[in-house]
Chains A and B, each alone.
Chain A
């Protein structure tokens, strides 16, 4: 049941993105930015927690999760450390994704030859 929810949630999000891509002049960059902002917006409304409870990996594997983690870091940072926490804890949870992708990309770029 969990897997079905994950499939449906991630699938519907990708379906919406594909419909936006096909029917407007927006590029993939626009669409991913839009979904990141939507993730932060749903986190602000308190809905993204429920999405994750409902869909598990389906909700954490799409790019909206990035916006959610940024919002969560900033909001919880304010609760702990006040205004400076907004800035210092903003990247707290999403650091995993950014650091991971930068490290892997750099190491693999060193190892692999560029294609033509």
Chain B
């Protein structure tokens, strides 16, 4: 079902349908996900006969639906269906996605994933905030670091003392 995009620019109606080829990527993702779900369903043993709803049933239904949706999305894409990307207060859709920002932010987040238990939240949390603020364009180093450190130490103690949730102290173990 080709949905007409509501935000087609009124200026030049495209003679040929504009194909958002990135959307094929989403269709492939759905296909892979669907295939995995179905494949996983086939590996489920159907246990005792009293099991009226074997655990594979839902997997088959959901997996098959994902596969079907993948095909539908690919067809819709080929027929010129373009998504209305989400708008917002701070969103400027005029340009494309800023891949550099995205990759850098993912890197900053990954640093935290791998180092949080080694270095501890007070350190990685501060790196996370400062790094993210830098990636997003802030260049006030002193202020960025100060806010980052204040936030990470503040939340560390707030979670420990206020909520009773110990966050990893890491290299500062014993100091804090």
Do A and B share a complex?
A: no
Mark B residues whose CB is within 8 Å of A.
none
